[in-house]
Amino acid sequence: MDPPLHDVYRRMLIPEFSVRRIREMRPAIQEIVDRLLDDMLEQGTSADLVETFGLAVPSLVICRLLGVPYADRDFFQSRTRRMVGAAPEAPQDSMNAAMEIWHYLDGLITEAEREPGDNLVGRLVTARRESGELSHDALVGMTFLLLVAGHETTANMIPLGVLSLLRDPGQLAGLRADPGGWPLAVEELLRFHSIVDWIAFDRVATEDMKIGGQAVRAGEGLFVLGASANRDPRAFERPDELDLRRGARNHVAFGYGVHQCLGQNLARAELEIAYRTLFERIPGMRVVGEVEELPFKYGGPIFGLHALPVAW
């Protein structure tokens, strides 16, 4: 979607992702992370971190954000897991789960139209009534976009970051000694992994232009390789090295320009709380098996791991 309509929608959502609003959400995120780790520890001494933690954290955070009632969380979580985690050979399963979520959100919004709660959906419904700018279907579409954009990204970033940290005990020890270093570490993990690559940045030129000396004609497609920018030696020294104290905030892991990630403050808070709490509570965690044999998601739109077996 392009401006000016894009601006109208985006402006409605900006206050929901402000630094202040996300700061207010931190205790709720901490509670979600703590509960999931309680469950994991109760279950035994090993787990698949993708299933039990990576997928669960963003799913429950989004439930909270959208005001999904507690009783519906299992339904919501299982469908989001199927939508995001379906095997590549069974795309229909993912489509079916997406349809079920769409219907669910449709119902959630109808409910909020009757009685708007004090959450993102409630506030949007109220704003829509006041301004008349947003149709019911547009609202369903918007919440669905938030769910997809905020779920798969964070769900992949959590296990990948954990893996990187487990493979680098020296830097992990540094973070344990100085937990104030976590925000910088999160930025570097985002840069280093650049999980959202060309699929998010694909564009069609609306007019003739020149980019980096290259002529692009109106109507031509562009694939901007975000990961390549994030490993550009002109922008970052030793770009292929994970340096958790690098402090480089000029990465493009959240995109650039008018579509830059709306949920980046939330993503940063989720990642920081998830990594810090996990390593505080399970200091002896280790990867089970050979890293080279882990099932990485090559070829998918967003990089990540299908599974990360860990033990402690």
Structure tokens, 29: 């995120």
Of positions 253, 273, 305, 310, contacts ligand HEM by CB under 6 A: 253
> Is residue 262 close enough to count as binding ligand HEM by CB under 6 A?
yes
Closest CB 304 distance from ligand HEM, rounded Å = 10
- Binding to ligand HEM, residues 233-252 (CB under 6 A): none
DSSP type of residue 50: I
Closest CB 147 distance from ligand HEM, rounded Å = 8
> Is residue 201 close enough to count as binding ligand HEM by CB under 6 A?
yes
Q: At what angle do helices 19-43 and 264-281 cross, to 10 degrees?
A: 30
The three-state secondary structure class of 46 is: strand
CB 205 within 8 A of CB 220: yes
Closest CB 45 distance from ligand HEM, rounded Å = 28
Name 114's Cβ contacts closer than 8 Å, sequence gap at least 6: none
Kindly write down the DSSP assignment for every residue of 186-221, as one continuous string: HHHHHHHH--B-HHHH-EE-SS-EEETTEEE-TT-E
User: Which residue, 111, 177, 178, 169, is CA-closest to 139?
Assistant: 111
Closest CB 24 distance from ligand HEM, rounded Å = 15
Nearer CB in complex with ligand HEM: 43/250: 250
CB 193 within 8 A of CB 157: yes
Of positions 21, 73, 176, 259, contacts ligand HEM by CB under 6 A: 259
> Is residue 157 close enough to count as binding ligand HEM by CB under 6 A?
yes
Whole-angstrom Cα distance, residue 142 to residue 134? 10
> Is residue 265 close enough to count as binding ligand HEM by CB under 6 A?
no
Cis peptide upstream of residue 239 (ω within 30 degrees of 0) = no
Nearer CB in complex with ligand HEM: 134/157: 157
Of positions 146, 189, 244, 305, contacts ligand HEM by CB under 6 A: 146
Q: Binding string, 10-49, against ligand HEM, x = CB under 6 A?
A: x---------------------------------------
> Is residue 56 close enough to count as binding ligand HEM by CB under 6 A?
no
Q: How many CA atoms lie within 13 A of 46 on its CB side?
A: 8
Structure tokens, 10: 């985006």
CB 67 within 8 A of CB 307: no
Name 188's Cβ contacts closer than 8 Å, sequence gap at least 6: 242, 243, 244, 245, 246, 248
The three-state secondary structure class of 303 is: coil
Closest CB 261 distance from ligand HEM, rounded Å = 3
Nearer CB in complex with ligand HEM: 11/129: 11
Nearer CB in complex with ligand HEM: 97/266: 266
Q: Which stretch binds ligand HEM (CB under 6 A): 26-34, 47-55, 255-263, 274-282?
A: 255-263
- Total residues binding ligand HEM (CB under 6 A): 21
Contact footprint for ligand HEM (CB under 6 A): 10, 145-146, 149-150, 153-154, 157, 195-196, 200-201, 253-255, 259, 261-263, 266-267
